[in-house]
Amino acid sequence: MPDPGAVTVHIPEELNFLGFPLEKWFSSHPQYQHLVIGALIFGYRPPAIGGSSSDDRQPRLLLVKRSAMDSYPGCWEVPSGSVERTDLTISDAVAREVLEETKLRVSRFVGEVRGQPVHWWSRQGGGIRVLKLSFEVEVVELPERLTARRTSLAHDGPSESLNLDDVPVVLNPDEHEAYEWVTREELEKGYETGKYKLIRDQYRVLLAGFSQHKERLEQTERDSGEST
């Protein structure tokens, strides 16, 4: 019997390696013995009563705070984790980690966060090289109206029944103890003040994610204008 919670995940052609068997990926990247993935999930506030505001148009990134019982206690991150040998593909690993950590179901890969690779040496197993890849994804539980794929907020009426804070994020208390949807400005300010402590190079990665999210929106708007 099919799993009622199963979701068909859309992978764009430029990310087709996400569907390759893990053995194929590792054989083509022999310098790495371990792979870690991160998932950037963006959402938007619905239009305020009385019309749209600048806050409605600010993308917000889902951050989760690591549990005091876990490694790096109190640090913030996007849903992340190690690719396991039981995962058939990188796509499967991303979907599994997001589901395990938030109970959200990945429905679409938007793009990879480009930039300088995040890698490090681990003492595990006598020393291994670890690479972390990060991707922007969409999830089933986030209504289209609260994503970048929504129609222009300037022409939408207010909707009191939809709110970003109502998205059913369910944390695993053994791993995370809180979550927030933050704008780029809030992330930058929180990082400077120490509110958002991040692991390794994740601050750079998250800022790159915000920038690339904005670039994709601007390109979509240009393409839409050219087609009209």
Give me 35's structure tokens.
Answer: 């792979």
Average pLDDT over residues 5-20: 92
Give the residue among 40, 44, 124 at the shortest CA–CA distance from 78: 40
Residue type, 171: L
Give the per-residue pLDDT at 171.
97
Give the per-residue pLDDT at 91.
97
Give the per-residue pLDDT at 173.
94
What is 13-227's CATH topology? Nucleoside Triphosphate Pyrophosphohydrolase (3.90.79)
Residue type, 59: P
Task: Please give the residue that has the higher pLDDT: either 134 or 49.
Answer: 134
Give the per-residue pLDDT at 223.
77
Give the per-residue pLDDT at 54.
59
pLDDT tier for residue 160 given thresholds of 50, 70 and 90? very low
Give the per-residue pLDDT at 115.
86
- Residue boundaries of the structural domains of the chain: 13-227
Q: What is the mean pLDDT of the chain?
A: 87
Give the per-residue pLDDT at 197.
96
Give the per-residue pLDDT at 157.
46
Residue 182 has pLDDT above 70, yes or no: yes
Residue 3 has pLDDT above 60, yes or no: no
Contact 62, 181 (CB under 8 A): yes
Average pLDDT over residues 73-90: 96
Residue 151 has pLDDT above 60, yes or no: no
Q: What burial class does residue 76 get, using C-beta atoms within 10 Å of its C-beta: 0-12 exposed, 13-18 middle, 19+ buried?
A: buried
Give the per-residue pLDDT at 111.
96
Please name the residues in contact with 191: beta carbons below 8 A apart, sequence gap of 6 or more.
Answer: 198, 203
Residue 195 has pLDDT above 70, yes or no: yes
Residue 85 has pLDDT above 90, yes or no: no
pTM over 0.85? The answer is yes
Distance CA(202)–CA(194), nearest Å, equals 14
Contacts 24+ apart (CB under 8 A), 156-165: 156/47, 156/52, 157/47, 158/46, 158/47, 158/48, 158/49, 158/50, 158/51, 159/46, 159/47, 160/49, 162/46, 163/45, 163/46, 164/43, 164/44, 164/45, 164/46, 164/60
Give the per-residue pLDDT at 46.
75
pLDDT tier for residue 55 given thresholds of 50, 70 and 90? low
Residue 211 has pLDDT above 50, yes or no: yes
Average pLDDT over residues 163-170: 89
Residue 71 has pLDDT above 80, yes or no: yes
